[in-house]
Amino acid sequence: MLIEYIGLPGSGKSSLEKAISQKLNSKDLQVISRNEAVDLLCASIFPISRGGNVIFRKISSGLYKVLLYVDTLLGLYTYTIPLDFFIPHRTRAAMRIAEDIRLYKFSSSEIFSKSYLLLSEGILHHLSALHFWRSPYNHEYYFRVPEEIKNLLTATKTVVVYIELSAENASLRLQRRGRPKFWPRHLETKVILNGFEKVISATLVGLEKDLEDKVLCLKGDHPDLTWQKEATYLLNALVQKKRKGI
């Protein structure tokens, strides 16, 4: 099963991923992180392992980046547009989408049949981010998840966890840890969070109609959440969905 999180920057996606990972491990359930999944993916594609020898790891990592860039080019007019390749934060989001697509398909392999693959940010989050960065000042967001992505979510055992935390509370959390370094300096945090909030809502509205059984919502009401209580609820929900084969 693959679990991806979607929510505002600073909403606590990484904190929740860590909390649920600990709870899954405490139940002797196997957990695989994004980095571990990427290592397994590379090992299945390239004869050169990303682990072990430093030189081999650099070669494998380099080949993998080239592969993702090619995948991103092939995604042109499906989830990318030409200008995405000339603006760093948009290129970053587009290449993350390319990686997500490979990981989602790879998650259907036998190696993941009894494990939980956790992605603190998944394909829906990266699609939302890419759409936002294209027009950060446009608050009339109309965004539809591409059918290819919907089909991918339907075909895989994926659960989307939406972390609903207000832009105000997310901003307070970001003040403590600092803004992501790749964010453009000329954009205020408030503008980014408000824009993200709208585009994520637009993303989820489209999903609720087609993939309602794959979406779980966790709501936070203050900036000091550790997500421990919510992780317990999520653990039970994930185990039930895995039993049902979702």
Higher pLDDT: 10 or 57? It is 10
pLDDT of residue 139: 55
φ, ψ of residue 78 to 5 degrees: the values are: -100, -55
pLDDT tens digits for range 112-125: 888 899 998 999 99
Q: How far apart are the C-alpha atoms of 116 and 24, rounded to whole Å?
A: 8
Confidence of residue 168 (pLDDT cuts 50, 70, 90): very high
Q: What is the band of 140 on the pLDDT scale with cuts at 50, 70, 90?
A: low
134 vs 209: which has the higher pLDDT = 134
Note the pLDDT tens digit of each residue in 189-200: 999 999 999 888
pLDDT band at residue 208, thresholds of 50, 70 and 90? low
Average pLDDT (79-87) is 89
Residue 32, pLDDT above cutoff 90:
yes
Q: Tell me what pLDDT residue 141 has.
A: 55
The chain-wide mean pLDDT, for the chain, equals 86
Q: What is the DSSP secondary structure assignment for residue 32, as one 8-state letter? A: E
pLDDT for residue 39? 86
User: Does residue 154 carry a pLDDT above 70?
Assistant: yes
pLDDT higher than 70, residue 218: yes
Tokens of 116: 């939980």
Token digits of residue 59:
């070669």
Q: For the chain, which domains are there?
A: 2-33+88-244 (3.40.50.300)
pLDDT score at 4: 93
Q: Hey, what long-range contacts does 202-207 have (CB within 8 A, 24 or more apart)? A: 202/141, 202/142, 202/143, 203/6, 203/124, 203/127, 203/128, 203/131, 203/143, 203/145, 204/6, 204/162, 206/143, 206/144, 206/145, 207/124, 207/145, 207/150, 207/153, 207/160
Q: Which residue has the higher pLDDT, 163 or 222?
A: 163
pLDDT of residue 5: 93
More confident call, 11 vs 52: 11
Query: Is residue 116 packed enough to be buried (19+ CB in 10 Å), middle (13-18) or exposed (0-12)?
Result: buried
